[in-house]
């Protein structure tokens, strides 16, 4: 029985079968559901059913976490990864309802899972032409979205309850976006030195990610020209030779007709 379970887990988490790909898509759907749950419950008063839902999500995350540790070839290395530590923090926050909102913001760290999809990126390239065509843009969008959601969760946890301007997740999100875009209407501010440091971090790291998105949208670092010899499709904009096989590539540039 244990042998069959081990084989099944390795197939689902590391395999290339249709069932394995469907399972990993289901995991992605679960991650998105937990994120939506965290955001939704910030708008309502905490009730018993939310605590029960927390325990259910925590148990499922724990089961997924244990399975990933089991199939990991280098378990110690896996346990020290950023996404793994984020999973542990999120799992603790879901399984510790007595902590109330004190640990609540840690749940939003589940968004980091979107950056670590266990072969899902490769599968998206196969399954969706749109993803293959706009991969850089989509990845840059995901990076920016993850930063926004994690930062918003942190601001909500630090300010909710004593800052009258941060009443729910939407207020924290509004502050994050206005700070990130340097709009700064001034109707919501973070209090104290720690609040100012958070604001600086949002502007510094957020603007960097925003500029990266703008770069891939308006000035992509790679151009798509298929090499006639090896078939490599992505090349530097100023490339003369294919980096894979050394064949000449003919990339049209401004002024070249």
pLDDT tens-digit map of 65-78: 888 889 888 888 88
pLDDT per position as a tens digit, 109-168: 665 665 555 456 666 777 777 777 777 777 778 778 778 877 887 787 777 777 888 887
Q: Which residue in this structure is represented by tokens 């029985």?
A: 1
- Neighbouring C-beta atoms of residue 233, cutoff 10 Å: 12
User: What CATH number does the domain containing 157 carry?
Assistant: 1.10.287.70
Decide which of 87, 104, 129 is a domain's last residue. Answer: 129
pLDDT per position as a tens digit, 168-204: 778 888 888 888 877 777 778 887 777 788 888 888 8
Q: What is the pTM of this model?
A: 0.63
- The contacts of residue 156 (CB under 8 Å, 6+ apart) are 42, 105, 166, 168, 169, 171, 172
Q: Are residues 50 and 94 in the same domain?
A: yes
Three-class DSSP category at 5: helix
Q: Are residues 92 and 5 in the same domain?
A: yes
pLDDT per position as a tens digit, 82-101: 777 777 877 777 776 544 44
d(CA 157, CA 224): 44
Token readout for 4 is: 């069959």
Residue 242 · residue 230 · CB < 8 Å? yes
- In 183-224, DSSP assigns E strands to 222-224
Count of the separate structural domains present in the chain: 3
Average pLDDT of span 230-255: 69
Decide which of 82, 103, 129 is a domain's last residue. Answer: 129
Domain of 25, in residue numbers: 1-129
What pLDDT is recorded for position 168?
Answer: 79
Distance in angstroms between the alpha carbons of the first and the last residue of the chain: 67
Q: Are residues 209 and 231 in the same domain?
A: no
Q: Which residue in this structure is represented by tokens 């290395």?
A: 77
């Amino acid at each position: 029985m244990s042998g069959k379970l081990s084989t099944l887990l390795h197939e689902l988490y590391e395999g290339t079968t249709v069932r394995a790909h469907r399972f990993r898509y289901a995991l992605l759907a679960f991650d998105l559901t937990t994120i939506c749950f965290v955001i939704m419950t910030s708008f309502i008063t905490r009730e018993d059913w939310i605590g029960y839902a927390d325990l259910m999500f925590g148990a499922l995350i724990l089961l997924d976490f244990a399975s990933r540790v089991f199939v990991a070839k280098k378990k110690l290395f896996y346990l020290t990864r950023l996404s793994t530590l984020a999973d542990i923090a999120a799992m603790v926050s879901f399984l510790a309802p007595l902590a109330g909102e004190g640990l609540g913001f840690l749940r939003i760290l589940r968004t980091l899972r979107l950056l670590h999809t266990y072969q899902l990126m490769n599968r998206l390239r196969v399954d969706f032409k749109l993803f293959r065509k706009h991969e850089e843009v989509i990845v840059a969008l995901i990076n920016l979205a993850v930063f926004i959601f994690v930062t918003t969760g942190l601001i909500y946890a630090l300010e909710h309850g004593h800052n009258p301007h941060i009443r729910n997740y939407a207020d924290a999100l509004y502050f994050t976006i206005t700070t990130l875009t340097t709009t700064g209407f001034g109707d919501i501010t973070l209090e104290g030195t720690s609040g100012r440091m958070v604001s600086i971090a949002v502007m510094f790291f957020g603007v960097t990610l925003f500029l990266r998105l703008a770069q891939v949208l308006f000035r992509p670092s790679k151009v798509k020209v298929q090499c006639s010899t090896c078939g490599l499709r992505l090349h530097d904009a100023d490339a003369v030779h294919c980096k894979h096989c050394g064949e000449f590539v003919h990339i049209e540039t401004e002024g070249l007709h």
